[in-house]
Structure 1
Amino acid sequence: MRRSMWFGLASITVCLTAALPASAGVPECGNIRFEGLSNCEVRVTGECTAGCSELGIYKTACATKLVPVCKTECTLSAEATCTDSCTEQCSGECDRGVAITCSHNCFAECTTTRDVECAGAADAAQCAATWDANCDSECDAQCVTVDGDCYQHCIECCGGSCTAGANMDCQTTCQNEEFEDCEHEFRANCDASCSGDGALFCNGKYIISGSQIPACVNALLAQGVSVEVEAEVTIGPDGIDGNLAAGMCAFRPASKASLAAPFAALAAVAGWLARRRKRSSHTSS
């Protein structure tokens, strides 16, 4: 007599707290910048497949991926008029006692005109994603080694912002040529991961999927991310049932221990499903 096996699995919701640094992207998460994102959750099976279905959710991931690709041809230096004007204004803020932090102020300065400039674009969301990713990349490169007073932060901040501005048209043109293929590639990766480790979404946007998820979430956890177990689902002979997206985020301290059990369960279920499919294929043959 064949015995049915049932497992309980909880979804994982990653809640971004205000403590997250306003620095550049997280390398373990495909260099995605998480400032401003929230409601992050790992989804598997049905909820995952539904989340993967729309191409619009891949814009942030694609723009971030394509920036270094396009940097090989987008190599303009910052214009002196831009850096001089920016540094003068920023130094004035230092004189008034404002604490300037390169990583935060660079991105804010760089994206000041983004919404206005992208309003008339054929795809405003793609334009904004490219703008953010380009600013983030140049600001990260300029700000990562800053070790000085407020005025030094201003110099590096303006250098990053103005370099991004000088290359914005080039990045936009270059990415436009690659964007559609990138979205389809990420969609295929997302779909393929739904029956295994799943995919990580934040505000409905695709972040990363598959075996990269544990390292990504651990990296977020180290930066002040709260992790909470949400709705329960059932694993049985016919697959996974339940609503993984149910519940609300709770902003509270978390430890690595709170993450270990859900991911261990997810890995165990993924392995069980793989073994079950393998046994089924042998039986049918």
Structure 2
Amino acid sequence: MTATTAPRTTTAPGTTARPALPSAAAIGRSRIGLELRLFARDSGQVVFSFAYPVIMLVIFGSVFGGEEVLPGVDFRQYFLAGIAATGVMLTSFQAVGTAITEERERGDLARLQTLGTPPLAYGIGKAGQVLVTTVAQLAVLLGVAALAYDVPLPTEPGRWLTFAWVVVLGILAGTVMGIAVTSFIGSARAAGTGIPAFAVVLQFLSGVFFIDSDLPAWMDQIAAVFPLKWMVQGMRSVFLPDSAAAMEAAGTWEHGRTALVLVAWVIIGAVVCARTFRWRRGE
């Protein structure tokens, strides 16, 4: 038998082998820390993200007090679901959409493109920052609700599991929608007024400030197109007793449909991002 040797790679004289470039996932993970530091430096955004849901809880707690919506369920417990879902939307869709338009206008995104940052890595960084921020925000909100207003929190693991997947899918849907919408907004000023205005309208349509059964049918049908309505409904299934499902439009919590709509928006948003994301204005 004749021994064979493996072929050897050679490097041309005077040259050195280049190290392999990091993957988009690796760059994205490193960007999460950077995005968190940038978020922490923006004191106005930090205060708004954490204070808004708590202030809304205080307002509802002060105005409605212990008035009951259902036997054993007062307004504070009922509206905690909507306030929690709104917090997810604000830290994802609203904050991400506004931040990206500002970064594009300042030229930050153009510099990232020059450095060779993959769009996927940039998106991972934003989503990771939103996830960490939202978890902290919800922890503060639920702590205030339980300690200051004696709102009962669920004790069953199944309810917390529902809470987890609603939050995660809501974060993903809100983040990709926030990134996608920036491709259709011309300036940071337009984003600073248009995105919050749309978010406020969506809150009213989605039953954040009202009992769902009190909403007109046409309003509920419009809201059903968007993810916030399903986040609110999913949250209600966590914080309210099972008997409260009778007050929903379908008479049930519709967990399957909630997951389906949220996943659909994640996919739709991701496709729009992949096709329309731009690093520079007018690109």
Q: Same fold by TM-score, threshold 0.5 exceeded?
A: no
Larger Rg: 2
Greater share of residues in helix: 2
TM (norm. structure 2) is: 0.27
